[in-house]
Amino acid sequence: MHLENVNTIAFRIAITGVVQGVGFRPFVYTLAQRLGVRGWVLNHSGGVDIQAEGEQEVLTAFIVALRTEAPPLARIASLETSPVAPNGHTDFEIRDSEVQIGRFMLISPDVATCPDCLRELLDPADRRYRYPFINCTNCGPRFTIIEDIPYDRASTTMRVFPLCDACRAEYEHPADRRFHAQPNACPVCGPHIWMSESAVQLDGTSTVDVSGAAAGSSTEETLRFARELLLGGGVLAVKGLGGFQLACDATNAVAVQRLRVRKHRPHKPFAVMVATLADACAVCEVSSAEAECLTSSQAPIVLLRRLPAASAGITIADEIAPHQHTLGLMLPYTPLHHLLLRDVGRPLVMTSGNLSEEPIAKDNAEALERLSSIADAFLFHNRDIYARYDDSVVRVSQLSGASARESSKGHANGEAKPVIQMLRRARGYAPYPITLPFEVGQVFAAGPLLKNTFTLTRDQYAFVSQHIGDLEALETLEHYEAALATYLHLFRIEPERVVCDLHLDYLSTRFAVDFARAHGLPAPLRVQHHRAHIAACLADNGWSRERGPVIGVALDGTGYGDDGTIWGGEWFVGDYDGMRRAAHLESLPLPGGDAAIRQPWRIAVAYLNALVEPEDHPMGFCPGEAGLIRQQIEKGLNVPQTSSMGRLFDAVSALLGVCHEVSYEAQAAIELDQIASLARDWRPYPFVIEGDVVRLAPLFYALLESLERAVPVPNIAARFHATIAHMVLEVCLRLREETGLPVVALSGGVFQNALLLDLTVPALRDAGFEVLLHGQVPCNDGGISLGQCVYRPLSAL
């Protein structure tokens, strides 16, 4: 019998954050055993509770170590202690989880295979040797398999796989790396893989008979057939972590082109998966910061600069990324990926399992139905995916200096840090929330039309969804609704108000109106697109209301403006409580609306018609079609006006002969950026600022003069980028003179342009501005919903 020490005290410790599914309870148990702490630890619907008993010195050390020694995947949001009466515990135990009504907890994103599991995967002596579903508390699926909280196996899609004796012993042993690892499994008791031929006869290019690798086949037989198919130039649909991916040999130009034709994706770059960091360095230039991103537990796609062909140790087909000197590379992040890459011995295209612009296929039957016209065969498994998730995409900017968030908090330690740009936020990052600088209640922000995400808020957290995609098809809307239902349920959110875009015809806006009506809520607050961009940048940087207004620069392709025109080249002054449109590009005609976006030559003709005298128009530029466009403009037939910076990039790209028609969003601007980065002439062209309008006629006359003098197109493109950077600076200088504001927030999809960002930010900093950039959410429309939920002008209160 334990005799209570007179010096024994006790604390109840409540911890919130990402503290379930990351090995936190076994960490607490081991720590308690080491220090001699008695009591218990348990999971509940809101986090982790601990009863700790011992002497004062011991408990002080215990509480400090809970923060300083926490598992690498844990993120403690709060740790509160309160003294309680000792209960006379004689040991320390892990208790069963409790369901607490109304509580919510943060949930870990999916985590790439950890070094320990990878070592076991490749160890012939290990019982999980080459098992495609090896995992532990430090890695593996999380959010994509969770159906409810607390995070226990019974609340995941793994509940259908009873643990064998060996796995159960690991699962129940507090000192084991797999203690309460909910996806824990092995070849005896866990999920398995198999191959299936496409339900549709394709073009006869694949000669591998996969009938021998059907359900019931061994893992090795299945992987052998997969290897043969990929090496033979076939297209394989692989069931991954958050959905299906389409794979082919990235060194085989014929295979890559075949995938392009079947997927209806003629030009947009494909992502490539390589087996190791060394392989990545044999294909692209990889800085230490980029290597850190590639090998992180998030394992995103990282945009990297290709090595010259003569320097590359591995040759990637040019068809992977036409007209570009960058590649999107990633490393394997599941055991199945590791096995495929090592068995094939070549880099693989690993792109979303969908037709262009549809959501990624998630279930086996769905994949057979939707991907049979693309894939030669399917690599299935029977671990169900609950939440559909695509891969995340990031870029490491060459900018140095304090990160955006550190800068906003006034940190100035002189440490140079690269700027990580989030281009698509999904697997590995969502659903981890953005911590807001103030509470906004429980809000549902419906997001934009393109690159959609939604945001739900609760307490100080903004839960920005994974990348949903373009809300232009029924399948994407169904994905949106399913993801929203998952987030509402898991985070126990009951929205008190709804926010949406100003554009009434956006599917997201119509959904928001219907949602508010169905839930008995007031009509949605409608937030103008570009104001949401700037508000998102402020929230991304933890900008508090007390810090006051900023100058906001929102440059993108399309957003419905207050005056009914299409905005996109905007300067604002304000903050969360309201923003004044302080300056903008002049409005110019967009003949055909969406048709012009798909055919940038139309925009070039329209801008020339508006800005340049007829006798100065370039000879032979779209001679037949130009006349029709001018007639359309004169008659005012479907010719909206736009101040869009994205459309200006399109017009210049077409004018320079870089890109006349596009097959994916921003193609013309991206190809213009790629060409410009090859040049060395960075002198800006002229433009004029008249009041609050930036006039572009001088720019176009200068562009035409350069073309007439046969200046190399890369030099013209470079000077154009320098012009836009100088334009941003000049307008901001005028607004600082007017307002005294020293801070500039940059947002909008145009700032995905690495060259433009690298020109603009140093110019602003050299002029004495503090610059806020996105870091946690994309600067493109993927961040709009975050801005919608925090922007609430005083006039709306």
- Partners of residue 195 on adjacent β-strands: 379
d(CA 321, CA 542): 36
- Burial of 420 by CB count in 10 Å (0-12 exposed, 13-18 middle, 19+ buried)? buried
d(CA 355, CA 636): 36
Between 579 and 630, whose confidence is greater? 579
Report pLDDT digits (tens) over 560-589. Answer: 999 999 999 999 999 999 999 999 999 999
3-state secondary structure of 151: coil
Q: Measure Cα distances from 616 to 439, 610, 613, 696, 704 in Å.
A: 56, 12, 5, 15, 8
Between 2 and 50, whose confidence is greater? 50
Please, which pLDDT band fits residue 6 given cuts at 50, 70 and 90? low
Q: In this predicted structure, what is the pLDDT of residue 619?
A: 65
d(CA 91, CA 511): 54
What does the pLDDT average to over 322-328?
Answer: 94
d(CA 72, CA 51): 23
What does the pLDDT average to over 6-10?
Answer: 85
Within 10 A of 480 (CB to CB), how many other CB atoms are there? 23
Q: In this predicted structure, what is the pLDDT of residue 406?
A: 44
Report pLDDT digits (tens) over 107-138. Answer: 899 999 999 999 999 999 999 999 999 999 99
Task: Write out the two tokens for 234.
Answer: 């076939």
Q: Is the pLDDT of residue 203 over 60?
A: no
Q: Is the pLDDT of residue 325 over 80?
A: yes
Report pLDDT digits (tens) over 672-703. Answer: 999 998 888 999 999 999 999 999 999 999 99
What does the pLDDT average to over 13-28?
Answer: 90
The pLDDT > 90 percentage for the chain reads 81
Crossing angle, helix 645-655 and helix 713-739, to 10 degrees? 160
Q: Is the pLDDT of residue 299 over 90?
A: yes
Q: In this predicted structure, what is the pLDDT of residue 402?
A: 40
Task: Write out the two tokens for 42.
Answer: 């348990």
Choose the weakest-confidence range: 200-204, 451-455, 473-477. Answer: 200-204
Q: In this predicted structure, what is the pLDDT of residue 38?
A: 96
Please, which pLDDT band fits residue 556 given cuts at 50, 70 and 90? very high
Task: Write out the two tokens for 636.
Answer: 């005012």
Q: In this predicted structure, what is the pLDDT of residue 401?
A: 41
Task: Write out the two tokens for 307.
Answer: 């090595």
Q: In this predicted structure, what is the pLDDT of residue 623?
A: 59
d(CA 424, CA 401): 23
Q: In this predicted structure, what is the pLDDT of residue 106?
A: 87
3-state secondary structure of 419: strand
Q: In this predicted structure, what is the pLDDT of residue 183?
A: 96
Side chain identity at 526, as an amino acid letter? R
SS3 sequence of 293-322: HHCCCCCCEEEEEECCCCCCCCCCCHHHCC
Please, which pLDDT band fits residue 511 given cuts at 50, 70 and 90? very high
SS3 sequence of 249-282: ECCCHHHHHHHHHHHCCCCCCCEEECCCHHHHHH
What does the pLDDT average to over 765-775?
Answer: 97
Please, which pLDDT band fits residue 201 given cuts at 50, 70 and 90? very low
**Residue found under tokens 């300056």:** 583
Report pLDDT digits (tens) over 96-115. Answer: 888 777 778 888 999 999 99
Q: In this predicted structure, what is the pLDDT of residue 416?
A: 56
Q: Is the pLDDT of residue 317 over 60?
A: yes
d(CA 68, CA 66): 6
Query: Containing H/E element for 509?
Result: helix 507-518
Q: Is the pLDDT of residue 719 over 50?
A: yes
Cα angle 297, 359, 787 (rounded to 5 degrees) comes to 70
Q: Is the pLDDT of residue 739 over 90?
A: yes
Q: Which residue blocks in 49-97 are alpha helix, DSSP H?
A: 56-68
Are 135 and 153 within 8 A, CB to CB?
Answer: no
Report pLDDT digits (tens) over 225-250. Answer: 999 999 999 999 999 999 999 999 99
What does the pLDDT average to over 495-512?
Answer: 96
Q: Is the pLDDT of residue 206 over 50?
A: no
d(CA 749, CA 324): 18
d(CA 570, CA 693): 10
Task: Show Cβ contacts of residue 575 under 8 Å, excluding neighbours closer than 6 positions.
Answer: 538, 543, 545, 548, 549, 550
Please, which pLDDT band fits residue 764 given cuts at 50, 70 and 90? very high
d(CA 383, CA 157): 7
SS3 sequence of 721-772: HHHHHHHHHHHHHHHHHHHCCCEEEEECHHHHCHHHHHHHHHHHHHCCCEEE
Q: In this predicted structure, what is the pLDDT of residue 100?
A: 79
Q: Is the pLDDT of residue 595 over 50?
A: yes
Q: Measure Cα distances from 624 to 321, 499, 606, 619, 621 in Å.
A: 32, 46, 14, 12, 9
At residue 249, φ and ψ (nearest 5 deg) are -70, 115
Please, which pLDDT band fits residue 507 given cuts at 50, 70 and 90? very high
SS3 sequence of 94-143: ECCCECCCCCCCCCCCCECCCHHHHHHHCCCCCCCCCCCCCCECCEECCC
d(CA 738, CA 720): 27
d(CA 226, CA 383): 19
Are 570 and 643 within 8 A, CB to CB?
Answer: yes
DSSP state of 332: -
- Partners of residue 425 on adjacent β-strands: none
Mean of per-residue pLDDT scores for the chain: 92
Q: In this predicted structure, what is the pLDDT of residue 96?
A: 85
